[in-house]
Structure 1
Amino acid sequence: MRGDIAYFVMMDDASIHIINVEDETSKVRKEELDKAYKYKTLFMYNHWKPVLTVITTTVPLDNCLKGINYSQSDIFRPMIFSLPYDGAWNDLNNMVDRINHQELFTKTEGLEFITLPRCCKNNQELAVEKICEVLPDINVENVFTKFELIYCMQCLIHKYAKTDEDILRLQEMIGLKEAKIERMNILDKAEARGEIKGEIKGEIKGCLNILNAWANDPNSGYTVEELADKFGFTVEEILNGK
């Protein structure tokens, strides 16, 4: 489930769109499309934002169902990507060489780099290891992007690491704890300068309210410390809801 994620994306006109990504390890059938459609509906009615659905799969597209007509006016056609490809390992090694030579990466190239384990047809855990070895040294367009890449890399670590010990070792290798702190410091400074719009602040407030309720629910299965570590907030932020 850690592979599934939804992004709130601010467009050039300051409107907010939602990109919902569903990660499937089997072919896309009616069952998977129905699930993605329900998520789309939930996001749309909870946030009243346009929703783009993306489904990733490890199965060739020819074996996948492309869409469903729920009615004459409600046609669900998500974007479906088959991730593994033959040249993924070659691309990964080339990017590692670029990092070792301190070549500049764009934000898009950085995102492509950390998601390459999903595109490798074998030895994904080794791909994660190689990325973690060089990620702290990546030269990107701005320092915040670097912290974002490290922050997002924890999803790949959790997805492919074999043991809990490996998870902790790889997270320490990329400096995850330090990156989380620096990431929040930058966000705090941006908010103080008025660079974070009120609508985005409202979304963050909503997330904190949910985490606060979760932390106070004895049946949630998580402590407030675990939630803080998992979602990148501090314990105080979750407890105070701001």
Structure 2
Amino acid sequence: MTVFVLTGAGISAESGLGTFRDPGGLWHRFDPTRLATPEAFAREPEEVHAFYNLRRQGVREASPNAAHAALARLEAGLAARGDRLFLCTQNVDDLHERAGARAVTHMHGELMRARCTACGESRAWAEDLSVDTACPACARRGGMRPDVVWFGEMPFHLEAIAAVLDASDLFVAIGTSGSVYPAAGFVARARGAGIPTHEINLAPSDTAGLFDAATYGPATRAVPDFVAGLLGGFSGSRP
């Protein structure tokens, strides 16, 4: 059995990391068209770095919550009985890993990594970036950027994600808005393949009507309860 779990910003909100589109979220305070595009980085790299340095600081100061920990338990519990969790996240934080998850697919990249626009080198990076930061591989300055997906760029690992989704036995979306594609289209793809679907969210997402089942409430309560039920009672396969 393969359980495909997609997580979004809502799973990290109770760790103190702001969501994007909710009232008071990051995009209500910052204009993404100015700060989260390749063009913005080329035009005003200092401001882009300042924004992402602030976000990186927030990730460093945040701690995984009970929802992250529950998914790590789900991964271990499924593996122990020969099954698999495929944990795919839209989040660029590292809270899943710090909670103990061993295999996380970051489709929108990772804030705690940096990539050189000159040579393509990507590596773990927890400190601030600036226009003076030199690439450790090619020594060029000015080209180091957060290794995240900006607007207008293609998400990572899409072929691998699609292959696993099509072969999954259960699709679960946790803390997603249902408004960001291609991830928002995963539920329709799963339904088309006859895969049961379940939404866990604080409130119904934009794609809530496509899910077979739903649980609404804070992630720190809803996700551990769901995981406990899944590990205790779900052993079937897709119809």
Task: Give yes or no for TM over 0.5.
Answer: no
- Bigger radius of gyration: 1
TM-score interval w.r.t. the shorter chain? under 0.3
- The two structures have a TM-score, normalised by structure 2, of 0.27
Highest relative contact order (Cα 8 Å, sep 6+), 1 or 2? 2
- The two structures have a TM-score, normalised by structure 1, of 0.27
Higher strand content, 1 or 2: 2
Higher helix content, 1 or 2: 1
